[in-house]
Amino acid sequence: MSSDSLLAERVFILRKLRDLGGAAYFEDICAASKLPDSLVHRVLLECAQQGLVTVEEEVFQLIELTDKGRVTLERGLPEYLLAKTVLHSGGQLPLQDALKAAGIEDRKEREAAVGWLVRRQLGRLQRTNKEVLIIVTHLPQDELYNLLNKVSTKAVLFKELTDEEKSAIDMLRRRGLVKISSKIKRFYRITEQGLKDAQKEVPPVVTRLTPELIRSGAWRRCVFARYDVSALPPLPSYGFLHPYLEFLDQIREFLMSRGFEEIEGRLVETEFWNFDVLFQPQDHPARELHDTLKVLKPRDKGPLPSEHLLKSVMKMHERYWKYRYDIDVARRLILRSQTTATTINAIVGRRPPFKLFTIGRVYRHDKIDSRHLVEFYQCDGVMGYYGASFKDLLRFFRDLANYLGLEVRFFPGYFPFTEPSVEGYVKHPTLGWVECLPGGLFRREILKALDVDCPVIAWALGLERLFMAMYNIDDIRLLFTDKLGKGVDRGISW
């Protein structure tokens, strides 16, 4: 049975190669035979060893879109989009107006759009006494975009392109829109001996047993393709998210399901946004080096906010804290010690109602132990709307605790920028009650300085401590260790 099967498979594939004109690529033989690639490869290898076929290897350069190329394919090339906008507006527009009308906002993308528009001769720039104009008289077909579309719809080999297309592809590659990789293709050609073997009479080859074959009895006249039980199966992929990162996504899902919008902030902040605007005096102990990590290089100071906001915060400090406010201190750069610096920045000039949150790293000069790290995640949020109250904050914390399956209790708290304030504790299975839900209502002095005329609830989440309580982890360092067994011992599937 084994020799019949081998002969049948060999003759079957040789006939397919013969029917393809006696020469074909490996992929075409697989498609014609409808057999597994591994089986076809094994049979062709045996045929080559016995002189029934010859094999040639060709190296091709395959062109594929990059992630940036796929985005560009959806939006269009920026220079063509800019030229099209100008042409539809009468053929002439001021530079800034044209970029704005075309929806090109990123600074680097704007520079690229204008540069490529001139280089590709889609338009020209004309300087006047007042401004720079873009002038577009006609718009040819966008061959670069058509080439991008061609690459996205089928496998394109570099050698198959015309010289003009190759030049265009090189331009797209330098712009990071396509990538060129090498690919080996095997070309098989049947020999005279192979043609003779293809004429042998053999039973049909069957790759699987079907009910029809059994009912008709045709299986008795068939040869079944070999199944190599010693072949190794495909290696499984063990890639997955870290449990703590999955937890962060869980927090995001909870907040977004309740109408919150996620925002992002800077890791390097000025003391103005990290402390001053949050009603913390410039001589507060928390600003000293043992708590805050200052940026030594570069020594340049950070930018100041608007003059109106700076004067309002300065007046707030000097009136309530009774000292002379120092602008140089406000401009000092530090690694942010709290993500509240991001949320307080986001509400400036924002009209209610709003619900915002941010998740990011913060940095503090702490001694590393089972409860403390110098770098950790924090989640801050604000809820601003008319009628917002302290009860709404407590209800929010209770909903979050129920969502995570944790017990929660509250105690009065103090923070310089909220009044009233609360500290929420969750029940850790072994450590007891752990504080990780601080919050309150922004002080009226702060809201007045920011020109916000509605109550604003501010809260923060101690994410590491919440995660530790959920999985009974008693050492915060385990969240960032490579000792996976520790997590398994505590019932975490990683």
Residue positions counted in the chain:
494
Considering the domain architecture, whether residues 82 and 220 belong to the same structural domain is answered as no
> Is 237 contained in some domain?
no
Are 196 and 275 in a shared domain? no
Q: What is the mean pLDDT of residues 438-464?
A: 93
> In the numeric block, which tokens belong to residue 463?
């994410």
Asked, for residue 182, whether it belongs to a domain, the answer is no
CA distance 93 to 341: 40
One domain, residues 25 and 98 = no
pLDDT for the residue 105:
81
* Residues sharing a CB contact under 8 Å with residue 196, sequence separation 6 or more, in sequence order: none
Please check whether residue 336 lies inside any domain of the structure: yes
Confidence of residue 204 (pLDDT cuts 50, 70, 90): low
Cβ atoms within 10 Å of 282's Cβ, excluding its own: 19
Determine the Cα–Cα distance for residues 346 and 194; give it in Å rounded to an integer: 75
Own/partner contacts of 192-198, CB < 8 Å, gap of 24 or more, are 193/50, 193/51, 193/52, 194/14, 194/17, 194/18, 194/47, 194/51, 194/52, 194/53, 195/14, 195/18, 195/22, 197/10, 197/11, 197/14, 197/52, 198/11, 198/14, 198/15, 198/17, 198/18
Residues 303, 393 within the same domain: yes
Query: Do 312 and 376 fall into the same domain?
Result: yes
Query: Side chain identity at 323, as an amino acid letter?
Result: Y
Give the pLDDT confidence score for residue 411 in this predicted structure.
95
**Assigned domain for 180 exists:** no
CATH (domain of 275): 3.30.930.10
pLDDT band at 492 (very low <50, low <70, confident <90, very high): very low
Q: Hey, what are 150's tokens? A: 């061609």
411 and 461 in a single domain? The answer is yes
Closest to 150 measured CA to CA, from 63, 28, 60: 63
Pick the most confident of 99-103, 150-154, 172-176, 436-440: 436-440
Q: Which residue has the tokens 């008693």?
A: 474
Q: Give the per-residue SS3 of 342-390.
A: HHHHHCCCCCCCEEEEEEEEEECCCCCCCCCCCEEEEEEEEEECCCCCH
> How high is the mean pLDDT of the chain?
84
Strand partners, 180: 63
User: What's the domain range around 107?
Assistant: 78-141
pLDDT of 423: 95
Q: Which residue do the tokens 């009912």 mark?
A: 215
Mean pLDDT lowest among 111-120, 248-257, 376-385: 111-120
User: Closest by alpha carbon to 379, among 466, 295, 305?
Assistant: 466
- Tell me what the mean pLDDT of segment 194-222 comes to: 80
Mean pLDDT of 344-350: 90
User: Could you give the CA distance from residue 346 to residue 120 in angstroms, rounded to a whole number?
Assistant: 40
Q: What are the start-end ranges of the H helices in 225-354?
A: 243-257, 271-274, 307-320, 327-330, 340-346
- The first and second tokens of residue 313, run together, are 């915060």
Q: How far apart are CA 410 and CA 432, in angstroms?
A: 14
Asked whether residue 329 falls in the same domain as residue 456, the answer is: yes
Q: What are phi and psi of 411, to 5 degrees?
A: -135, 150
Determine which of 37-46, 56-65, 80-89, 157-166 has the lowest per-residue pLDDT on average: 157-166
Give the gyration radius of the chain's Cα atoms. Answer: 34
Q: Does residue 420 have a cis bond before it (omega within 30 degrees)? A: yes
254 and 214 share a domain? no
Please give the Cα distance from 48 to 190 (Å, whole number): 9
Q: Is residue 184 one of the residues assigned to a domain? A: no
CA distance 301 to 332: 5
Task: Say if CB 461 and CB 358 are below 8 A apart.
Answer: no
Reading across the β-sheet that carries 456-461, which strands appear in turn?
261-262, 354-363, 375-384, 456-461, 432-442, 418-428, 408-415
* The pLDDT value given to residue 490: 43
Instruction: Kindly state whether residues 288 and 325 are assigned to the same domain.
Output: yes
| 205 and 226 Cβ atoms separated by less than 8 Å | no
The pLDDT value recorded for residue 180 is 79
Say yes or no to pLDDT of 494 above 50.
no
Tokens representing 362 are 């913060």
Would residue 389 count as lying in a domain? Answer: yes
Q: Kindly report the CA angle at 293 between 365 and 298, in degrees rounded to 5? A: 155
Q: Is residue 236 part of a domain?
A: no
- pLDDT, residue 491, reads 42
The type of residue at 174 is: R
Structure tokens at 406: 């944790």
CATH code where residue 131 lies: 1.10.10.10
Are the CB atoms for 469 and 487 separated by under 8 Å?
Answer: no
Which amino acid is residue 58, in one-letter code? E
**Residue 236's pLDDT band (cuts 50, 70, 90):** low
Distance of CA 262 to the CA centre of its chain: 15
The conformation of residue 288, written as its DSSP 8-state character, comes to S
Same domain, 282 and 202: no
Q: To which residue do tokens 């050609």 refer?
A: 189
HSE-CB at 53 with a 13 A cutoff on CA atoms is: 31
pLDDT (0 to 100) of residue 71: 85
Percent of the chain at pLDDT > 90 equals 26
In angstroms, the CA 132 to CA 94 distance is: 6
The label of the residue with tokens 């201190």 reads 329
User: Contact at 8 Å (CB) between 189 and 22?
Assistant: yes
Gap between the Cα atoms of 266 and 446, Å rounded: 21
- Residues 478, 398, single domain; the answer is yes
Q: What is the pLDDT of residue 391?
A: 95
Closest CA to 320 of 163, 446, 166: 446
Encoded amino acid at 398, one letter = R
What mean pLDDT is predicted for residues 23-44?
A: 87
Would 494 be classed as within a structural domain? no
Q: What number is the average pLDDT over the span 153-175? A: 76
Q: How many distinct structural domains can be found in the chain? A: 3
In terms of domains, do 217 and 346 share one?
no
Angle between helix 37-49 and helix 2-19 axes, rounded to 10 deg: 90
